[in-house]
Amino acid sequence: MTKLLDLSFIRQQFPPFANPEFKGQAFFENAGGSFACKQVIDRLCTYYRETKVQPYYPYSASTKAGQAMDESYESFARYLNVKADEVFFGPSTSQNTYVLSQAMRGYLKAGDEIIVTNQDHEANSGAWRRLAEFGMVVKEWSVNRETGQLETEGLKELLSDKTKLVTFPHCSNIIGQINPVKEWTKLAHELGATVVADGVSYAGHGFPDIADLGVDIYVFSLYKTYGPHQGAMVVRENIMQNLKNQSHFFNDKELHKRLIPAGPDHAQVAAAHGVCQYFDAVYEHHFDADTARGPAVHDLFRTAEKARLAPLLDYLKDNPKLKVIGSTDSENRAPTIAIVAKKVSSPELVKRLVKHGIMSGYGHFYAARLIEAMGIDLEAGVARFSFVHYISDEDIQQLIEALEQEL
């Protein structure tokens, strides 16, 4: 039987819901950054209060600091179904992909082909495109201009025996489409290409099983998955040996430092484990011990989100006062909904919604190439309403009523 999310339990895990500052307001900018769960906030505070020293030395505070960081690598590995040595925490996804692109210069040669998309956030696009400066051939897999979707045929047309790298989003931060990562990865792997998937817009809706997806590199941002402001990435063992050390020369053998030239933010790395503690608490509250933890939490979140997404899409899809950017079918779609209103600009709409207690955002959200491809004005962009599992039916109703008055 499908388990239903206990929303009151969930909200107790997020301090903003008890904060008078947020009373009466409904939060629809989660694709920009989610609330942090209390487990993360507690760990961050504990780190600063009790173990704010250089980690991994033999004195007590330092040992504890190192242990707190190690817990994060280990718990993320469990939820993502990879090894702890394959998990990395860096300053942000944009920084992580930039570093990765430099690390890949070690094995890509002039003439090698790289496939990028124009559906991606620029973080998983620009860094790869810049490799053209070193002679690599960059090919763009372009979206269908009407739907904003990437079609498999487009990838097949671009793949060749020269393709060495294929990059795409797991989910678009504008059209919300959940892409068939497994199928695309298989196509790329048949030609021996490495696959990088941007999971930033997906992971907040439930952590994926990375081994099952099959990708070589998966990147996402912890501040959109209830955590601190860090980027997480999984780099599978098979690809690691191809990546050039990007840290100081003497750190070449220090696995967790090789791809983090900024140096780790110890407290935030330690706090990251709080995200998994939150998932553990959700799991223990809802399930019996014999259910697989990762998939159970993932599906619980997804079911709750879909139940709230359907009525919102129903309201939006036949509304003559606006256009939904992307699919209006709640299947295969994250609750990240972009619209363009016919009579009100996106900035003006978002501003007007504030008096109805709606927290939302507007713009191109750094997916400027997608916005342009779909013929949308880049400056005004779209108004975006994005939510995660902690949003209630009442929040959805509040948004619908606000839109009803302001469109």
Ligand X SMILES: Cc1ncc(COP(=O)(O)O)c(C=O)c1O
Stretch 20-49 residues interacting with ligand X (CB under 6 A): none
First vs last C-alpha separation in the chain: 40
Stretch 338-367 residues interacting with ligand X (CB under 6 A): 366
Distance CA 163, CA 159 (A): 6
* 336 touching ligand X, by CB under 6 A: no
* 173 touching ligand X, by CB under 6 A: yes
**Considering beta carbons, is residue 167 or 398 the nearer one to ligand X?**
167
Please give the DSSP secondary-structure letter assigned to residue 178.
Answer: B
Distance CA 191, CA 177 (A): 26
> Pairing between strand 322-325 and 217-221?
unpaired
**Considering beta carbons, is residue 164 or 224 the nearer one to ligand X?**
224
Please report how close the Cβ of residue 147 comes to ligand X at its closest, in angstroms. 18
* Contacts with 314 (C-beta within 8 Å, 6 or more apart), sequence order: none
Please report how close the Cβ of residue 220 comes to ligand X at its closest, in angstroms. 8
CB-count burial class (<10 Å; 0-12, 13-18, 19+) for 111: exposed
Please report how close the Cβ of residue 163 comes to ligand X at its closest, in angstroms. 22
Distance CA 221, CA 32 (A): 10
Stretch 107-136 residues interacting with ligand X (CB under 6 A): 121, 123-124
Q: How far is CA 151 from CA 145, 147, 333, 367, in A?
A: 11, 10, 15, 18
- Residue of the chain from 51, 75, 93, 277 that contacts ligand X (CB under 6 A): 93
Evaluated on CA atoms 180, 193, 222, 367, the torsion sign reads negative
List the structure tokens of 392: 């209630």
* 94 touching ligand X, by CB under 6 A: yes
Please report, as a single letter, which amino acid is at residue 181. V
* 200 touching ligand X, by CB under 6 A: yes
- Residue of the chain from 71, 198, 305, 395 that contacts ligand X (CB under 6 A): 198
Please report how close the Cβ of residue 321 comes to ligand X at its closest, in angstroms. 27
- Residue of the chain from 72, 125, 201, 398 that contacts ligand X (CB under 6 A): 201
* 221 touching ligand X, by CB under 6 A: yes
**Considering beta carbons, is residue 117 or 124 the nearer one to ligand X?**
124
Residue 390 near residue 35, CB atoms below 8 Å: yes
Please report how close the Cβ of residue 191 comes to ligand X at its closest, in angstroms. 25
**Considering beta carbons, is residue 92 or 398 the nearer one to ligand X?**
92
Region from 38-46, 92-100, 277-285, 296-304 binding ligand X, contact rule CB under 6 A: 92-100
**Considering beta carbons, is residue 65 or 210 the nearer one to ligand X?**
210
**Considering beta carbons, is residue 17 or 366 the nearer one to ligand X?**
366
Please report how close the Cβ of residue 123 comes to ligand X at its closest, in angstroms. 4
Q: Which of 114, 314, 72, 305 is nearest to 202 (CA)?
A: 305
Size of the site for ligand X (CB under 6 A): 14
Residue 205 near residue 334, CB atoms below 8 Å: yes
Please report how close the Cβ of residue 387 comes to ligand X at its closest, in angstroms. 14
Please report, as a single letter, which amino acid is at residue 267. A
Evaluated on CA atoms 91, 42, 20, 23, the torsion sign reads positive
**Considering beta carbons, is residue 193 or 219 the nearer one to ligand X?**
219
**Considering beta carbons, is residue 177 or 201 the nearer one to ligand X?**
201
**Considering beta carbons, is residue 71 or 198 the nearer one to ligand X?**
198
**Considering beta carbons, is residue 118 or 173 the nearer one to ligand X?**
173
Residue 122 near residue 368, CB atoms below 8 Å: yes
> Pairing between strand 87-90 and 231-235?
antiparallel
Q: Which residues bind ligand X (CB under 6 A)?
A: 92-94, 121, 123-124, 169, 173, 198, 200-201, 221, 231, 366
